[in-house]
Amino acid sequence: MSFNALGLAPELLRAVSEEGYEHPTPIQQETIPLALAGRDLVGSAQTGTGKTAAFLLPILQRLAAERRPHTLRALILVPTRELAEQVLQSSRAYGRHLSVTATAIYGGVGMEPQTRALSRGVDIVVATPGRLLDHMERGHLDYTQLEVLVLDEADRMLDMGFAPDVRRILAALPEERQTMLFSATISVEVDALARQALSGH
């Protein structure tokens, strides 16, 4: 199967080919058409399977199809700052022929540059839960136009004790949205989080 068969825009196909990808991985083959159709989904995928492109390509396509600059429309929650940076770099690589903007929000660094980036307005926020809540408490996030939520490496987020933070973030998001959850393992706890994140809309 080729990337051309997945329904992706030419700008994204070009970027993917420039990354040297020849064929979509199994998780990409399964996820991309569903995600492009706006469906909610739970993906069981380890790191290294290509799951980042599986959710980023459909998000980039959705945001580029109808530009609304300086408006937060996609939130990607990740367990660590390293993963936040990786997802941010991937979104820039896959989105290099589009004008979608993204920023990363994580702890252990100063709040101020992040606050400035958020106040300028950005399409995609990639964040660890704790620092995102710090910004939310200061009124730095406007979720009224949010369309897509991704919970990436959900099992690691729960292992790191982020469940209460993630639940508080979920409570602040519009109910009508697309939600995608990825986890290496689907434990009872991950399943409960998936039910909560994917229900009510």
Nearer to ligand AMP, 54 or 100 (CB): 54
Does residue 126 interact with ligand AMP by CB under 6 A? Answer: no
Residue with Cβ nearer ligand AMP (16 or 169): 16
Residues 7-26 that bind ligand AMP (CB under 6 A): 21, 23-25
What residues between 23 and 82 interact with ligand AMP by CB under 6 A?
Answer: 23-25, 28, 47-53
Alpha-carbon dihedral angle through residues 42, 76, 176, 200, given to the nearest 10 degrees? 50
**In the bound complex, what is the minimum distance in angstroms from residue 52's beta carbon to ligand AMP?**
3
Query: DSSP E strands: which ranges in the chain?
Result: 41-44, 74-77, 102-105, 124-127, 148-151, 178-183
**What residue has token string 């004790």?**
161
Contacts of 8 (CB under 8 A, 6+ apart): 16, 32, 36, 57, 61
CB of 90 to ligand AMP, least distance (A): 7
For ligand AMP, which is the closer residue by CB, 94 or 162?
94
CB within 8 A of 97, min separation 6: which ones?
A: 11, 12, 14, 15
Give the nearer residue to ligand AMP in terms of CB position, either 28 or 183: 28
Residue with tokens 């290294």: 48
* Residue ranges binding ligand AMP (CB under 6 A): 21, 23-25, 28, 47-53
